[in-house]
Amino acid sequence: MNKDQHSENQTQVLMSSQDFIADMDFFTKIGFRLEQIFPADDPTVAVMSGHGIYIRIDKTAECPPPILFLMTNEVDQIVEGRKEITAPNGTQIKIQEKDHHLEIPKTHHKFEVRKLQDGDPWVIGRAGMLYRDLIPDRLGGSIIASHIRIPNGGPVPDMVHYHTIGFQLIFCYKGWVKLVYEDQGPPFILKAGDCVTQPPEIRHRVLESSDNLEVIEIGVPAEHITTIDHDLKLPTAKYLPNREFQGQIFCHHLLENAIWKPWKVTGFEYRETGIKKATQGVASVQVIRNQNEHSSSERLQHDANIYFTFVMEGAVDLDAKGQEPKRLNRGDAFVIPPGLDYHLNNSTEDLELLEVSIFQK
């Protein structure tokens, strides 16, 4: 069905009415207009349009009153700024802002360890992907960290979409995934160890994946709106690598081009992804690995708003002040509040960590 066919069709919301004139007057006052009324000698049906829908007021209908969400950028100008009104026939009208304004909740800091267990729930999310929550309480709604799997590879039933979000990271943990982004050139393969940031509202699409794809996805805040863009076709004709999306640029970090440097702890090294620069300091993403078997750290702290770590390979003891020591293995994750002392002890030689620091408050 093409766009013109969509515009020719019409859907009407049925409403019963015990006071036909009063219901018509009510909807007229909140911006609806009369389109049809019949029969002429004793009207029982009125079709009205407004705010993007058609309503069908019918004196003979027997149905419960519906709930309508009236989305507008002029909330204060409709019925004197009230957020909820009720028609004579019982229809509830909930008036809300049309354009979503991003709000990041205040972080509820806590120490939390999420272990990978055989019984961990994997839920089916968008486009049929399997999701495991790495921070169950989401620190008061300030962040979501997801371990995402696609067991069976091939084309992904995704659409061009964007997220109203403050920060978003896609880190390819296992396998590969084919992606395409607005103004960032042709589709490309994101391989294990590679990552991208998805700046706020950049249009993108997941095209294809390998079998047993696994990615780590970080989003700030936890609850954010995904909007489908039915009109934009990807890839776009222009290549604009320095285009800013609400102050951030697209960042594609490749493992094969990584430069490893000594980390702040002796015996460890890290690779910088370039994400701190691309987000203008909103977030930093590093991969840390061990260089010496059984390496241990001196006292550590961080000053980020949120500090999240995912164990990609190996094992390590996490010893945080006031907490029971935890032995962490591949697939485990943890968050630590700012200012809390902790140590990384007895790490295996193959230890590799994904470290995400969020500085935005």
What are the residue ranges spanned by the domains of the chain? 12-97, 113-251, 257-358
pLDDT at 112: 94
What is the third-level CATH fold of 12-97? 2,3-Dihydroxybiphenyl 1,2-Dioxygenase; domain 1 (3.10.180)
- Contact yes or no for 122/132 (Cβ under 8 A): yes
Report the alpha-carbon distance of residue 55 to residue 23 in Å, rounded: 11
Under a CB-based contact definition with an 8 Å cutoff, are residues 314 and 352 in contact? yes
Structure tokens at 19: 């006071």
In the chain, which residues have pLDDT < 50?
A: 1, 5
Contact (CB, 8 A) for 132 and 121: yes
Which amino acid type is present at position 355?
E
Asked whether the domain spanning 113-251 has the same topology as the one spanning 12-97, the reply is: no
Instruction: Tell which residue, 335, 137, 143, has the closest CA to residue 223.
Output: 143
Q: Torsion over CA of 98, 103, 105 and 111, rounded to 10 degrees?
A: 110
184-190: long-range contacts (C-beta < 8 A, 24 or more apart)?
Answer: 184/235, 184/239, 184/240, 184/241, 184/250, 184/252, 185/235, 185/239, 185/241, 186/235, 187/234, 187/235, 188/252, 190/252
Residue 296: what pLDDT?
Answer: 65
At residue 313, the pLDDT reads 97
- What pLDDT does residue 119 have? 58
pLDDT tens sequence across 20-44: 999 999 999 999 999 999 998 899 9
The pairing of strands 53-58 and 12-16 is parallel
Q: Which of 6, 14, 91, 78 is nearest to 46 (CA)?
A: 14
Superfamily of domain 257-358: Jelly Rolls (2.60.120.10)
Residue with tokens 């294809």: 208
Name the CATH superfamily for 113-251: Jelly Rolls (2.60.120.10)
Name every residue whose Cβ is closer than 8 Å to that of residue 340 and which is 6 or more positions away in sequence: 111, 301, 320, 321, 322
